Chain A
Amino acid sequence: MKYIDEFREGGMARKIAARIAAEVDARRRYHFMEFCGGHTHAISRYGLVDMLPDNVQMIHGPGCPVCVLPVGRVENAIQLAQTPELILCTYGDMLRIPTANGMSLLRAKAQGADVRMVYSSEDAIKIAQQNPQQQVVFFAIGFETTTPPTAIAIKKAQALGLHNFSVFCNHVLTPSAISHILQSPEVREFGVVSLDGFIGPAHVSVVIGSQPYQYFAEEFQKPVVIAGFEPLDVLQAILMLIRQINAGRAKVENEFTRAVLPQGNIKAQLLVAEVFELRRSFEWRGLGLVPYSALKIKSCYAEYDAEQRFPVPALSIADNKACECGAILRGIKQPQDCKIFGTVCTPENPIGSCMVSSEGACAAYYSYGRFRNRDLCTVQNN
């Protein structure tokens, strides 16, 4: 696969890793947060941590839209799906997410709700056209990458005069979440977590560009390197961060130049700005309420807003007390520091948000056996 396989080449990875080892300053530690679940996934899948020197530590950020969606919103979606004569469409990612009482959209479907998995927002429009007698709600989730397709669906519904289509909007914003983490007391005041730099999102940045990160570099003096999701991209970004820190710089750099422009995709941004506006505040699972961190549908498109069309009560459902997802998402703890990780909380029976999607830090650790490393040393050396 052109432009994929070249960026997964193991021999080159070892060369970049050797370069990292040659350039790190042994007298200091480096703490980098990869914001995106995509990077977390690559780090786990390809075992990148094993290639890094001991004084380079990766902290897994909250960039998994499935993980950070509060349970209350999933509960809302289930209630919508259970409404008679209503079809709820959503991406495959959302179907298995459990609520506090063990319900999920898949279970609701088993009990008779009409839940349909779609690959694209366009499919939800088609379902609405095919079922004019029924209400069709698209349960939309995702970061800036996934928002433009939702905007297109709303515009298309309007153009087609579809009166049975609406969107349950849960789109969230990356820069606000990064700000929130940088402003958290653990990072800013107490210094419990040191964060020396960020690996910036790949496909989110394709849409929003590299400019929105300038603020972090300037205001917080943290370097940001935007990187693709392939393993060589991640290693290269780590090298670029180390070089910035060694040189005392805090700039926004772009490793993913093959897809990210400074200004991003303006056509997509304009479309999003036309259909959506900021929410004053939105709950993130693990982070709590984050100001101006999510989008809602503008009043001129209220007809397509499921929150206007149906009763969608504000539900705030607390996570299990033993769950450490909040601390993990803020970089204070690692998955294996959580008491219920891998025992009570597994991908089969996820308790916390980081275990629910394969992008989540806990699920990535669990599935690829990264936490089992100590036991496996003998085997790997063979």
Chain B
Amino acid sequence: MANPVRVKAGYTRAIDFKHGCVEMKHGSGGRAMAQLIQQLFVAAFDNEFLRQSNDQACFQGSNERMVMSTDSYVITPLFFPGGDIGSLAVHGTINDIAMSGATPSYLAASFILEEGFALSDLKRIVDSMAQSAMAAGVPIVTGDTKVVERGSADGVFITTTGIGKIAEGINISGENARPGDKILVSGLLGDHGIAVMALRENLSFQTSIQSDTAALHDLVANMVAAVPTIHVLRDPTRGGVATVLNEIAQQSAVGMMLYESKLPMRAQVNAACEFLGLDPLYIANEGKLIAICGADDAENLLNAMHKHALGKDAAIIGEVIEDTHCFVQMQTRFGGSRVVDWLSGEQLPRIC
């Protein structure tokens, strides 16, 4: 955290996390900022690196290849069934690291806070981040906060950066899909997108669907242990499965054939999509991954996934095919096939 000066107990009044709100002074580099860092961030994320109160975290490197990834999190609403922007920010970056087959080591977190944002909400978010990081075993070792004037941000924006290391012999990349490979998904699709959309103003419909936000590195470790030659891993977040598979098809210069009847999905997600005129293949996930591996390894990989709580609904959903056009297609439950194109623009609920 940026230059946190130790605050003497009793010298300053304790922060009122119940009624207080973010003020410009919390980002000005003075006593108020130091106090916020100590009493909120350091207290929650508590680890040996933060306790040193330096602007950086210093740790031993390794001889293995390192992986680094960064992502910014902005979401409305900040709190949703199954998670919040804090858990999302921790899981998302851990997942981005894990999709290379790496073991995530450390995270950094940076906050842009809007003047007037309730400290109670901020504390809830920070506690949720701390809990998620603790559960994942990936500490947040350095960070930063800035405060912007009211109206210049939407409550809180969080950027997390992670690093991790990859074991020898693992080569997982979006350009490795080969014709004949099988495509697997780790679980039920569309939960996050629908859980969040159900809360949006004007659309209010009630579901029991919760966001699937989760850290996938442990599942990935099991998968890599079972099948070290996995070709591709990717998490189908924004744009959903359709977008991710189109990206991989382009990168690998191959086509894909999905089987609609094999896609694991809740009836509720399908029904919500039916209400809003949306296609579930384009709905975001925050705790799912797509894996592509050689056909001979697919059953083995599927078994490894089934043994993990986050992979119990895993399924083989399609295969990689030769196609110079790099189309993603789907054999429909109905019996035909159709192209599953890139998402054009934003998915908006429609009436016609």
Contacts and interface: CB of A to CB of B under 8 A. Distances in A.
B135 interface: no
A369 B339 contact: yes
Given A37-B352, A47-B332, A117-B202, A379 B255 contact: yes
B352 A379 contact: no
Contacts of A347: 341, 344-345
Interface in B297-350: 321, 323, 325, 327, 329, 332-339, 341, 344-346, 348-350
A117 B349 contact: yes
Given A123-B202, A346-B344, A369 B351 contact: no
Contacts of B346: 96, 106
B149 interface: no
Given A10-B332, A46-B336, A375 B325 contact: yes
A348 B350 CA distance: 17
A65 B338 contact: no
The range of chain B's interface size is 20 to 34
B270 interface: yes
A370 B351 CA distance: 24
Contacts of B255: 379
B341 A367 contact: yes
A10 B335 contact: yes
Contact of A64 (B257, B338, B339, B352): B352
Contacts of B338: 44-47, 368-370
Given A64-B352, A117-B202, A348 B345 contact: yes
A166 interface: no
B337 A380 contact: yes
Nearest to B338: A368
A7 B189 CA distance: 24
Interface of B: 202-203, 255, 257, 267, 270-271, 274, 276, 321, 323, 325, 327, 329, 332-339, 341, 344-346, 348-352
Interface of A: 1, 4, 8-11, 13-14, 37-38, 44-48, 50-51, 64-66, 91-93, 95-96, 106, 116-120, 123, 142, 146, 231, 346-348, 357-359, 366-370, 372, 375-376, 379-380, 382
Given A1-B270, A106-B346, 14 more contacts: A10-B333, A45-B332, A46-B338, A51-B336, A93-B350, A117-B349, A231-B334, A367-B339, A369-B338, A372-B339, A376-B329, A376-B337, A379-B321, A382-B257
21 contacts: A13-B334, A46-B334, A95-B348, A96-B346, A96-B348, A118-B202, A119-B203, A119-B351, A123-B202, A142-B352, A146-B351, A346-B344, A347-B344, A348-B345, A358-B350, A367-B339, A367-B341, A372-B339, A375-B325, A379-B257, A379-B323
